[in-house]
Structure 1
Amino acid sequence: MSLYKQKLQSCGVAWPALSRPDLPFAPTKRVGDVLYVSGQIPEILNDIPYVGKVGAEIDTDTALHCARLCAANIIYWVEQALEGDLDRVVELAKLTVFINAAPGFSAFSQIGNGASEVMNTVFGARGEHARSALGMAGLPANVPVEVEAIFYVR
């Protein structure tokens, strides 16, 4: 098992096994040394086990776990884009965390920390990043959390 997979497992998240969705966009897009990762949802083996609004059907601990799953899925697609070599990640530049929030819920940063902590654990200093955490009226498939990322790679 690779060091990256071990670090991800230490965050309480298994290494993802995903397949490219049949959608009109790619999971990643590289432009020069910048790798954009499309918004990832808390999907496990092509199943979406968590749906609902944070602060209503989804509690904070579950939403944190969802953010970790999203981060794991980002790392999976980055590894795919870099032909299995995560050492080619120079640094994570930016995470954007979207939270499907019930009216009155405002702990967006707390939920975003789930994704940030995974990136910091897996990539160390290369995982330090800028971040936005935003509340949304809804997200695709009614998932509680979606996370997108921008990496600088070689």
Structure 2
Amino acid sequence: MSVYQTLEALQIRLPGVRQPAAAYVPYAMAGKLIFLSGHTARKNGQPWVGKLGVSLTTEEGQAAARSVAIDLLGTLQGAVGDLNRIARIVKLTSLVNSAPDFTEHHLVSNGASALIAQVFGAQGEHARSAFGVAQIPHGACIEIELIAEIV
């Protein structure tokens, strides 16, 4: 099944490239690698605010991470024009807005990783870092950046 058939089967409609909120670009290319700037979670068009282990559960964090993955795919498509040009998703870095004693950052980040792997199959299996932070811009619950290789 192609990337677009998978997205259709999952009933996912990709958004366009979200404009940066500060002085940076949404993506940068270096050779065959494309680096996507961090995308924060959004819900109903607004920042998905909350702190894991305080006001949000791990399951809510997974849903937020999945929504970020959809936004990242939209930016990736905008950057390369066709997701079939993706040779491999290389790495995700996931920053989780969490309480000091929260320890399920890896499980929250699985919301994004699982979707990426589902959409791209073996080419979506990636390296990942997931860690907690004290705060994310606009109070968002999670921010994720992505590195991919293109053909």
Q: TM-score, normalised by structure 1?
A: 0.88
Partner of 2:140: 143
Distance 1:17 1:95 in 2: 20
Offset, 1:59: 1.4
Taking the aligned partners of 2:85 and 2:6, their CA distance within structure 1 comes to 17
Moved more, 38-47 or 123-132: 38-47
Distance in 2 (alpha carbons) for counterparts of 1:126 and 1:90? 6
Give the 3-state SS of the residue equivalent to 1:91 in structure 2: strand
Query: Which residue of structure 1 aligns with residue 79 of structure 2?
Result: 81
Does the Cα contact within 8 Å between 1:27 and 1:37 map onto a contact in 2? Answer: yes
Are 2:49 and 1:56 equivalent residues in the alignment? no
Give the superposed CA RMSD: 2.1
Deviation at 1:127, TM superposition (A): 0.2
Q: TM-score, normalised by structure 2?
A: 0.89
For these two proteins, the number of residue pairs brought into alignment is: 151
Please list the CA deviations of residues 73-132 of structure 1 after superposition, one character each: whole Å capped at 9, or x if unmatched: 11110000012x101000011111110001211101101111100100111111000001
Percent identity between the two aligned chains: 32
Q: Which amino acid is the alignment partner of residue 24 of structure 2?
A: F
Counterpart AA for 2:126? H
1:19-75 deviation per Cα after TM superposition (whole angstroms, max 9, x unaligned): 423531111111111000000111257422x20111111111111001001111111
Q: Is this contact kept in 1: 2:96–2:131, CA < 8 A?
A: yes
* Consecutive unaligned residues in structure 2, runs of 5 or more: none
Aligned-pair CA distance for 1:143: 0.7
Distance of 2:18 and 2:146 partners within structure 1? 19
User: Tell me, what secondary structure is at the counterpart of 1:20?
Assistant: coil
In the alignment, structure 1 segments of 5+ residues that lack a partner are: none
